[in-house]
Structure 1
Amino acid sequence: MQSERIRILIILFFSLCAPCLGYCQETDTLVNQLDSLREVKQEIGTQPLNTDQSFYTETTDINLKSYFILLGSNLKQEVAGPFHSSRKTWTKVGIAALIEAGLLFLDKPVQREAVKITADRPALQKTSKYITDFGGLYEAYTLAAFGLYGWLFKNNKFQTTTLLASQSYITGALMQFSLKTLSGRERPNYIDPAIGHPSPTWKGPFADLGSTNSAFPSGHTTVAFAAATVYAMEYRKHIIFPIIAYSAASLIGISRLTENRHWVSDVFAGAALGYVTGRQVVNNYHRYARLQNEKKRKGTLSYNLDYSQGVFMGSMTYTFR
């Protein structure tokens, strides 16, 4: 079993890093330009973003090629992010870590209360199951429907935002799976035969992942907040969008408690991971869009050679944009 887990870790490592290594070997690619822009340490919540409808044009559209380039860059920056963070960002991370540490002491009491609340309430159980499904595969279907809507009605901003949300979903899903693999934490619906009741035990990377040792972090909550953060940032000027996005993601997180699938610290960690992932994806796209707009603004220099009355005449033409 240990050898199988080692193979999984190796495959996971190379699946995350191989695209990034391939891009880094190219000297002047878009992804390297994205990385060079990122050399200035970014603080969470301080990067100015242009989210006006007019910003989303053919120049800043995401095509198939740029989608996967951005996705590879997202994965690389998600892993390398801690090495490029500012002191202020690290302070915020430290505060989140302290909250997470405090929630570890509330895991068992919150789990017991969540089970009590849903025990004799069939309607609540049904509603909880319905909500929790939207944090998994149903969310992917929802994003696909949103993308189709943006394409059919030629809403460039909504279509681009949904593509970014799908990138955030994928990035968050890969990151949470890697953390699940490394932590090997028991789920609250698993009764430990050695003690006769659930226990938030950490078994580490060599535990059998399965369905019992994959509690930390909450994957449903991670991808829910990853996508919600993208919509909240891109439509932050319309307060109703962030409210709806984060409310839906929070309900999914709560449903993981009422479904007895996660400890409260798992849910908080998933929400934090999803939030950070969503911000990183949006910021990365706007760096890409800035590069595209700068490229468009550059003029072009053309050389011409004309032949007239037995004489060759050369000329240069510079076109301003």
Structure 2
Amino acid sequence: MYKDNKLRAMKKICIGLLIVPFLLNAQEIHKSYFPRTLNLAGNVIKTSFKTIPSDFVYMGKNVSEDWKKTALYTGIVGALVLVDKPVTQFYQEEIETRIDYTIPRFSNIDFPWLEGNDAYMFYAMAGTYVGSFFGGYEKGQYAAINGFKALGYSILVSQVILKTIFGRARPYNSLKDKNADFDSATDNPFDFFNSRNGDHIYGNFSGTSLPSLHATAFFAMAKVFQMEFDNYWIPYGFMTAVFLAEIKEHRHWVSDMVAGGIIGTVIGRSIVRSSWRARGILPNKEKEISFQWMPSISSRYNGLTLVATF
């Protein structure tokens, strides 16, 4: 009996000696985890704030440097404006009426982008940040913060600036029947430069058609996540599902939504490229190889010289 008790005591001591190093190591990990996590999060936030000026620089570069694309997209939107009445009427009758589904509303907070279907976009980014924060995942933190920046810039560019400049009237709910539940609706796609009645942030239906804020913001946020995670299907699929769930509520001309999508893509792309540059991971621009024939005349040789620039 004495020997059995002694063996049990020895086993407990041995098990204790084996467990102690693990407990001590866990304590050390616990001590170092939070400082590392907070340090990483602090660096991400600091870098994201410092890149705000360069975000707008990259937006300007996207528009000015690639002037061919800018001219093309401007031409597409302009052409759509010219045919907006029949195109939008077709859209209302053949597309809006065929998409009929809803998604649960899980937020009742009476604040823009925190209620209704818009909350899905906001809380998806918030969830990405929280998970990435506790997981020490740098890319996820940048993606979430850049997504919030994309939302903020979309509101500034589309809602505050461009809608005020264009002041375009929204179309009737049904162009065919000329039905609308707001007074400023029209069937004239060329009804621009209307007053916004002093409401430039939250907005109302008066003079707020071009561009679509939802299209701008949704495409901007989706572009950020697409570039950060190199994945098209998840961000654009999620964005499309949320956007189409309220398709009848957007009340825009087709050109408004196309313009919003283009502007949002530029905003999202500019934010990510600005962030990548600050993080030192911006890919070098691919250089084109050009060939040029040059005459060569000398005492030893007369002819043509092929010069390659790359």
CA contact (8 A) 1:118 1:258 kept: no
Counterpart CA distance in 2 for 1:256 and 1:102 is: 26
For structure 1, list consecutive stretches of 5 or more residues without a partner in the other structure.
1-57, 292-321
Evaluate the alpha carbon distance shift between residue 218 and residue 252 of structure 1 in structure 2; reply closer, same or farther with a 3 A threshold: farther
The yes-or-no answer on 1:124 pairing with 2:100 is yes
The letter for the 2-side match of 1:67 is S
Which aligned pairs between 1:20-169 and structure 2 lie closer than 5 A?
62-75=43-56, 77-78=58-59, 80-81=60-61, 85-86=64-65, 89-117=66-94, 124=100, 126=102, 136-169=118-151
Which residue does 2:168 correspond to in 1?
A: 185
SS at match of 2:100: helix
Q: TM-score, normalised by structure 1?
A: 0.58
User: Cα deviation per residue 1:180-236 (whole Å; 9 max; x = unaligned)?
Assistant: 111111112475999995332443275536323101111011111111111111222
2:227 to 227, 233, 241: 233
The yes-or-no answer on 1:204 pairing with 2:166 is no
SS at match of 1:124: coil
The letter for the 1-side match of 2:137 is N
Evaluate the alpha carbon distance shift between residue 253 and residue 212 of structure 1 in structure 2; reply closer, same or farther with a 3 A threshold: farther
Evaluate the alpha carbon distance shift between residue 198 and residue 144 of structure 1 in structure 2; reply closer, same or farther with a 3 A threshold: same
CA contact (8 A) 2:192 2:207 kept: yes
Which aligned pairs between 1:272-291 and structure 2 lie closer than 5 A?
272-290=262-280
The yes-or-no answer on 1:270 pairing with 2:272 is no
Which residue does 1:317 correspond to in 2?
A: none
* Cα shift at 1:176: 0.7
Evaluate the alpha carbon distance shift between residue 161 and residue 264 of structure 1 in structure 2; reply closer, same or farther with a 3 A threshold: same
User: Cα deviation per residue 1:69-123 (whole Å; 9 max; x = unaligned)?
Assistant: 2224324553x4368x33xx110111111211222234222332343347877x8
| Count, aligned residues | 225
User: Cα deviation per residue 1:2-41 (whole Å; 9 max; x = unaligned)?
Assistant: xxxxxxxxxxxxxxxxxxxxxxxxxxxxxxxxxxxxxxxx
Evaluate the alpha carbon distance shift between residue 127 and residue 117 of structure 1 in structure 2; reply closer, same or farther with a 3 A threshold: farther
* Cα shift at 1:60: 9.9
SS at match of 1:228: helix
CA contact (8 A) 2:103 2:117 kept: no
Evaluate the alpha carbon distance shift between residue 281 and residue 196 of structure 1 in structure 2; reply closer, same or farther with a 3 A threshold: closer
Evaluate the alpha carbon distance shift between residue 90 and residue 61 of structure 1 in structure 2; reply closer, same or farther with a 3 A threshold: farther
Evaluate the alpha carbon distance shift between residue 120 and residue 77 of structure 1 in structure 2; reply closer, same or farther with a 3 A threshold: closer
* Cα shift at 1:126: 3.9
CA contact (8 A) 1:107 1:200 kept: yes
The letter for the 1-side match of 2:82 is F
Evaluate the alpha carbon distance shift between residue 266 and residue 214 of structure 1 in structure 2; reply closer, same or farther with a 3 A threshold: same
Counterpart CA distance in 1 for 2:271 and 2:251 is: 28
CA contact (8 A) 1:74 1:281 kept: yes
Q: TM-score, normalised by structure 2?
A: 0.60
Name the % identity.
25
* Cα shift at 1:166: 1.4
What is the aligned-residue RMSD (CA, Å)?
Answer: 3.8
Largest Rg, 1 or 2: 2
Of residues 172-181 and 244-253 in structure 1, the stretch that sits farther from structure 2 once superposed is: 244-253
